[in-house]
Every structure is written in C-alpha cells, then in structure tokens.
Structure 1
Amino acid sequence: MTQQAAALQTYNNELVKCIEDLCSTRDQLNRQIRQEEDEKERLQHDIRVLSEKLSQVNESLAQRLVARANLDRTIAETEAAYTKILESSQSLLSVLKQEAGNLSKATEPRKKAH
C-alpha cells in the first residue's frame, strides 16, 4: 500500500505541476492578449486621428486648388486684356504719328513753283 500511496503522491505532484504550468501559460497568454488589445486600441485611435487629419488636409487642398484655378483664370484674363491694351496703344501711336505727319504737311507753307 505504501508503494501505491507513493505512486499516487507522485502522480498527484505531477498533476499539480502540470496544472500550475497550464495556469502559468494561461497567465502569460492573458498578458500578451492585454498587450495586443492595448496596441489595437492605440492603433485604432491613431487611425481615427490620422483619418481626421487626412480629411482636413483634403478639404484644405480642395479649397487651395479652387483658389489656384481662380488665380490662373484671373491672370490669363488680365494678360489677355493687357495684350489688347498694348496692341491698341501701338495702333493709336501709329495713327497719331501718321496724323501728326499729315498735319505738319498741311501746315507747312506752300512753296510757289516758278
């Protein structure tokens, strides 16, 4: 009987050790799960923050693109108008010179032919 009791005690000790090892493994796994859940929560928070920031940047970018398009249109219209002014000024100057020449000829005393 002593031999059976010793064997039973040995089995019991091994069984308790196995259960303790399993509990230790479970505790370690629980710590890892908590760490990963914390990391998951942090990453989800970062994603929300970055998504909001991306949305703000997209909105700002869209506004700036519209503003640039308006500036490009205004510059093109202004340059076209300026070119017309230059052309008109050149035409006016040419006409004025021609008229001035005609007026000088008209106001010169006529020379009598002999």
Structure 2
Amino acid sequence: MSREGATLQTYNNELVTCIEELCAKREEIQQQISDEEKKRNNLQHDIQMLSNQLAELNESLSEKIAVREEYDKLIRETQDAYMKILKSSQALLGLVKTESSKLSQKNFTEKDAKDS
C-alpha cells in the first residue's frame, strides 16, 4: 500500500506542477490580452481623433471650394464686362476717328472754297 501511496503522491505532485504551469501560461496569455486591448483602445482613440480631424478638414475644404467658385464667377463676370468695355472703347475710337476725319475734310473743303 505504501507503494501505491507513493505512486499517488508522485501523480499528485506532477498534477500540481502541470496546474501551476497551466496557470503561468494563462497569466502570460492574460498579460498579452491586456497589452493588446490597451493597444486596441489607443488605436480606437486615435481613429476617432483622426475621424474628427478629417470631418473638420472636409468641412473647411467644402467652404473654401465654394468661396473659390464665387471668385471664379466674379472673375468671369468682370472679364466679360471688361471685354465689353474694350469693344465699346474700340467702337468709340473708330467713330471718333471717322467723325474727326469727316470734320477735317469738311473744314479743308470749306477752306479751299474760300480761297478760290
């Protein structure tokens, strides 16, 4: 019986050793889980911060694009008006030159008639 008791004691010691090893491995895994959960939480926080920054940037871009479009419209309208002014100025200059030439010829013709 003492031999069976010794065998049982050996099994018991091995079983306790196995349980301790399993607990140590579990603790190691638990530490890895805790580390990875911390990393995950940090990443989720970073993602939320970046998402907020992205939303703010998109809003700012939308506003600036709208302002740029207003500038584009104002520039087009101003350029169109300026081209109309140039065409009108050109027409006015042509009219003034024509009328001036007519007046000069009329004045020259009248002068010749008086001199004759």
TM-score band, normalised by shorter chain: over 0.9
User: Tell me, which stretches of 5 or more residues in structure 2 are unaligned?
Assistant: none
- Correspondence 1:18-29 to 2 at 5 A: 18-29=18-29
Residue matched to 2:97: 97
The corresponding residue for 1:42 is 42
Q: Sequence identity of aligned pairs in percent?
A: 47
Whole-Å Cα distance in 2 between the matches of residues 40 and 52 of structure 1?
Answer: 18
Q: 1:107 matched to which residue of 2?
A: 107
Superposed counterparts of 1:26-105, under 5 Å = 26-105=26-105
- Report the TM-score when normalising by structure 1: 0.94
Identify the residue that residue 14 of structure 2 maps to in structure 1: 14
| d(CA) in 1 for partners of 2:56, 2:106 | 74
Aligned length, in residue pairs: 114
The one-letter amino acid of 1:19's match is I
Distance 2:52 2:106 in 1: 80
Instruction: Name structure 1 gaps, 5 residues minimum.
Output: none
TM-score, structure 2 as length reference: 0.92
Higher helix share: 2
Amino acid at match of 2:69: A
CA RMSD of aligned residues (A): 1.5
| AA matched with 1:110 | D
Q: Distance in 2 between matches of 1:103 and 1:6?
A: 142
Give 1:110 deviation, angstroms.
2.8
Structure 1 position 22, deviation (Å):
1.1
Structure 1 residue 18 displacement after superposition: 1.0
